[in-house]
Structure 1
Amino acid sequence: MNLMRIPPILRLKLLWVALIIFIFLLGSIAYGFFTAPKANPYTPAGQYAASPYAVPSWASIFYGNLPPDIKVPNDYDLIAAKTASVINYWHLSNFTFNGDAVIIIYNSSYGPKGETNFQKTLYSYGNTGNGSVEIIIEGTNPLNLTLYHDFLYNYLLPRETKFGDYEFYIIQASISAYATNAYYTFNGYVINPSNATFWLFLAGNYLPTNLVTLSTVFKYLGNGGWNYILASSASAGETPWFYTSNIPPNESAVASVIMLQSMFNSTGNYKVEFTINYIPNGPNSKLVVYLSDLYFEFLGSRYGVLGTDNNGASVFAEYSQGGIFDLELAILAGLAIVFIGAVFGLFAGYYGGKLDQILTSFTDFILLLPGLAILIVLITIFQQIFTVFPKDILIIIVLVILSWPPTSRTIRGQVLQVRNMAFVEAAKALGMSNMEIIRKHVLRHVFPIIIAQLIFDIPAVIGIESALDFLGIGILKFPTWGNMLGFSINASLDAPGFAWWWILTPGIALFLLGVSLFYIGEAITRYYGSLVGETH
């Protein structure tokens, strides 16, 4: 004896395959929502999770031991000086040397604020608020203070891989200083295993006379206030190294590649250094320096589940954010399409006669319009007229205007079958009004078909919206699967490996979504369509 009767629709194997595919898509989107960077990948704040065109981490088995992102430090509290252990991390301590006293204090109540030149990306940290290392230097003799930390590079070198030209590194710091009868410079370096030193930035309250050739890259720091400093091999021409490395003029255009390959020319231990050069200039000389956001990152060529795009943005973040956006837009548009189509179909099919002729004629007229062409024209016009409306709202409105007729025809056909059945005639004989019959009997029997139409409309809307984005007239400032496909194809010819991970992700997602929802809707239509008029 069967204790539980399985509904016949759940016995359809194709339905289960479609459900598994659909659930997998939803699960992957949800996983990306919780794990991938939250910032919009099409803005600087969401870019440079790794180097441009970084392959998915799992795909590095095809390319060798590609370097991942290397972060020094790799903990936010240490980067932003939110913990006193930042002092030990950079190997600082109190000491006295040649009559000068150096005092190191962790200051939890003062930190980077108001750094106007700071731009947020996934590799940059600035304006992080309270928390800094306070360094007090007093004395009448010059003194150099060095902060340093080592890291291991044990991967393919940039010159050994076709992704190396896109790799780069950054070094940054937030600094506030107060000098009394004293000059100082603040410098950033990286030292490789061959003991070659690469001078990455120069800042301070004066430029030494022996360094006048570096005046174009010198960053002046006034007394007080926070200053953000960033240097990168991607902008090698803005580093002191560029002017001290004797690069031939004909190679200056590729200085970034030369700098990267010269620094990372072997595996082994590297050292990141920040140096304060204290130069007293009179009695009672004193320098107080506050440091925070001390950070170095090598942006590697393998990253995450789906790699990066041409701006180093996470493709997985684009996929998940685009999937959520596409589904939200499609569900809203689909509900509106089904509502309008259901109203037209119910009234046309139930009442028949002249009302049916009028509604059907209007429906056929909309169907005869060249959909995509009219869609493009209307969106272009609406964008010029309704400038205050977001583009996604305009797309939904135009899609609804042009997409309800097929739903209306389908529901009308089902209502034509239902209205002539015995239970409808019985309801009329009992004196029920037409609206009561439609609401209590007709709608009940065609409701599964309405749900199926909604399921059909969701991938249709996403497909049309994706086509608009692909053509460059839809959503462009926020990820969608359509503009992901368009951007990736445009960039693929110049990308290593044709950026296959970037192209395939939205393409496969659109295909699987369309197939899964089609077969779910088809299963509902076949099953409930065969039961119209029956009690179930």
Structure 2
Amino acid sequence: MNKLLRDLMSRKTFIFSVVVIGFFAVLAVAAPFLTPYNNPYRVGQQFVAAPYAVPAWATVFPQYKNLPPDVRITLTPSLAYESSGEVSQLNSSTLKVTVPPGDTVNVTFPLRWNWSSPYDVRLSFTLVTPNTQYFQVNLFVRDFYLMSLSPLPIPPEVTVVPGKPNPVIFSTELVNPGNSPYVASLPVQDQSLASLELPKMLLPKPGTYNVTLSFVNTGKTTEMFLVTLPGYSSLGYAYGRLGTDDNGASVFSEFVYGARFDLYLSLVASAIIIGIGLIIGLLAGYVGGFTDLTLNAFTDFFLLIPGLPLLIVLISIFDITGTIVNVNKAVLILLIISLLSWPGTAKIIRGQTLTLRNRTFVEAARALGESRMRILFKHIVPNLMGILFAQLAYDVPGVILAESGLDFLGLGITEFPTWGNMLGYATNNVSFVNGFAWWWVLPPGLGIVFISVAFYYFGTAMLDVLSPYKLRGE
């Protein structure tokens, strides 16, 4: 065993393969601890940042330098305000605003902004108004009259309940002529674009901008308002380790869970392929005669079948007939790939078994009266371990490529991330991006390349070290 380990560790390609495979294995196993999003294709786990947000570390490059991250802050008021009224801090999170009759009190909250414009702008606070109908509370950002709150349901004013706590949310994504005075003032042809243009106009570049709440008392008595400190939030264009996709979902989460699925599927499928190939190859090679002829013809028939086209046809048929509704699609793909991929392994094992059955140690075992099963599993299978390990390693990339090809074409897994459907979605949406979404395309592409090369080197090393007959001709 020490010699075996020394032989393996002396090969740089083997060390490389172990490091790469170990990296992806750890990534897959630790996926639930690395990201809170276990399925970024679900609507509830999307828009964690703006669509096509670059990785946060990419802001070191000049073209991404001023891109904003996600921002969530609580605004605090400036001390100055214009009115004969009074503004006081009721507690750490609530202001009391007293407004004389017929007067207006403006409370300004400075917003310090250090980046280019965000994807959206969202302001939220809770408002308790006087128990009358003679008031109005208006929201401004800079000089933009964004929202008007009133007890009277007169659009574009938003109705509030007098004397009760009213949660108030302003979002640029939800503005329309019915809830925003600014949008209502726009020409009709521009109103539909307001939600896209407003963030660029409200926070166009780095600077300090004022968010103002204007409390208007139209009655004849002094009135009091309670308002919590406004919370500001916006989705940024720089996010996380690998940015976001077209739905604002975390590409890093998609990548690690894609690695988890692809590795699991490929290892299970490869084990099934090795199992089928071993049984058929052993029987054909050792028994010989009519059994060998029959099994060899059966294997040749499967070898003649074009694998990927048949896989596409079968999946399409199952989709159309509804069979796939009753069977887990991942399991179905696993079984189909396994049942179409064993002939190559069976041929290799058959050929090696044919050479082993005539070896002296097998003849000696047969002369001693050992059973056929004992000879197979005690003398022949141990001498096939190099081939078996190598074939297992060689089959993994094949399975990943076949499954990824299906997903890329949209015929495979679509309800949760895989490397294949990540590449498919990225390719389909790249024409809508202002530039090349490299942070979405490169991780799954490089993942497939590195894992395939690593398993090839791993299989080659195991074949060389475990095969006593130097099957590669060395």
TM range (shorter): 0.7 to 0.9
Residue 270 of structure 1 corresponds to 209
Q: Which residue type is aligned with residue 63 of structure 1?
A: Q
Equivalent residue runs for 1:317-332 within 5 Å: 317-332=253-268
When residues 198 and 407 of structure 1 are mapped into structure 2, their CA distance, relative to the original with a 3 A threshold, is: farther
2:232 is matched with which residue?
296
Q: Are the structure 2 counterparts of residues 250 and 57 from structure 1 closer, same or farther at C-alpha, using a change threshold of 3 Å?
A: same
**What percent of counterpart residues are identical?**
32
Residue pair 1:182, 1:278 contacting (<8 A) in 2 also? no
Decide whether the 8 Å contact of 1:485 with 1:507 is kept in 2.
Answer: yes
Q: Output one character per residue of 1:430-476: Cα deviation in whole Å (capped at 9) or x when no partner.
A: 33222222222222221332222221111111111111111111111
Q: Secondary structure at the match of 2:121?
A: strand
Residue 214 of structure 1 is matched in structure 2 by 156
Alignment counterpart, residue 470 of structure 1, candidates 386, 400, 408: 408
Pairing 1:240–2:205 present: no
- TM-score, normalising length from structure 1? 0.73
1:449 and 1:415 mapped to 2: Cα distance? 11
Residues 249-258 or 459-468, more deviating: 249-258
Q: 1:324 Cα deviation (Å)?
A: 1.2
Deviating more after overlay: 420-429 vs 505-514: 420-429
1:13 Cα deviation from its structure 2 partner: 2.4
Q: Is the 8 A contact 1:492 1:499 kept in 2?
A: yes
Unaligned runs of 5+ in 1: 79-88, 107-132, 159-166
Task: For residues 262-295 of structure 1, give each alpha carbon's deviation from its aligned partner in whole angstroms, at most 9, with x where no partner exists.
Answer: 2123422235567787899999x99888x79x64
Q: In the alignment, does 2:275 pair up with 1:339?
A: yes
Does the 8 Å CA contact 1:33/1:320 hold for their aligned counterparts?
no
RMSD of the TM alignment (CA)? 4.0
Shift of 1:256: 3.4
Q: Are 1:152 and 2:112 counterparts?
A: yes
Aligned to 1:363: 299
| Higher mean C-alpha displacement, 347-356 vs 230-239 | 230-239
Cα distance in 1 for partners of 2:463, 2:137 equals 72
Contact 2:386–2:464 (8 Å) recurs in 1: no
**Offset from partner CA, 1:138-178 (integer Å, 9 cap, x none):** 999799898876443223x34xxxxxxxx422315485979
* Aligned-residue offset at 1:482: 0.8
Q: Are residue 41 (structure 1) and residue 40 (structure 2) matched?
A: yes
Residue 479 of structure 1 is aligned with which of 417, 422, 440? 417
Equivalent residue for 1:423, pick from 361, 365, 383: 361
Of 316, 323, 329, which residue of structure 2 is paired with 1:380?
A: 316
Closer, same or farther: CA 422–307 of 1 in aligned 2, 3 Å = same
CA distance in 1, matches of 2:290, 2:189: 82
The DSSP-based 3-state class of the residue aligned with 1:479 is coil
Partner deviation per Cα, 1:370-412 (whole Å, 9 max, x = no partner):
2112111211223322412221111112112211211222222
Say if 2:340 is the partner of 1:402. yes
CA separation of 1:401 and 1:344: change in aligned 2, threshold 3 A:
same
The answer for unaligned runs of 5 or more in structure 2 is none
Give CA deviations for 1:116-143 in whole Å, capped at 9, x if unaligned.
xxxxxxxxxxxxxxxxx78899999799
Deviations along 1:309-355, whole A, 9 cap, x unmatched? 21222222211121111112212222222222222222222222222
1:128 is aligned to: none
Contact conserved, 2:242 with 2:439, CA < 8 A, in 1? Answer: yes
> Any conservation in 2 of the 1:57–1:307 contact (CA below 8 Å)?
yes
Q: Deviations over 1:209-264 (max 9, x none)?
A: xxx3405xx366699899684512575667515336x4344433432343222212
Report the TM-score, using the length of structure 2 for normalisation.
Answer: 0.81
What amino acid maps onto 2:47 in structure 1? Y
Q: Which residue number in structure 1 is paired with residue 69 of structure 2?
A: 69
Counterpart in the other structure of 2:440:
502
Q: Distance in 2 between matches of 1:91 and 1:499?
A: 40
Equivalent residue, structure 2, for 1:491 = 429
Equivalent residues of 1:32, 1:316 under 8 A apart: no
Structure 2 counterpart of 1:328, one-letter code: Y
Question: Residues 100 and 507 of structure 1: is their aligned pair in 2 closer, same or farther, counting only changes over 3 Å?
Answer: closer
2:4 and 2:272 mapped to 1: Cα distance? 35
Distance 1:173 1:250, change over 3 A: closer
Distance 1:463 1:33 in 2: 25
1:171 matched to which residue of 2?
122
- What one-letter code is carried by the residue in structure 1 that aligns with 2:414? L
Once residues 99 and 249 of structure 1 are traced to their aligned partners in structure 2, the CA distance between those partners, rounded to angstroms, is 38
- The structure-2 alpha-carbon separation of the partners of 1:280 and 1:356, relative to structure 1 and needing over 3 Å to count, comes to farther
Contact 1:37/1:46 (<8 A) preserved = no
What is the deviation of 1:485?
0.9
Hey, what's the Cα distance between the residues in 2 that align with 1:377 and 1:47? Answer: 32
Aligned length in residues: 464
Partner of 1:18: 17
Whether the 8 Å contact between 1:307 and 1:315 is mirrored in structure 2 is yes
C-alpha contact (below 8 Å) 2:55/2:242 kept by paired residues: yes
Output the amino acid matched with 2:252.
F
Does the 8 Å contact 1:180/1:286 carry over to 2?
A: no
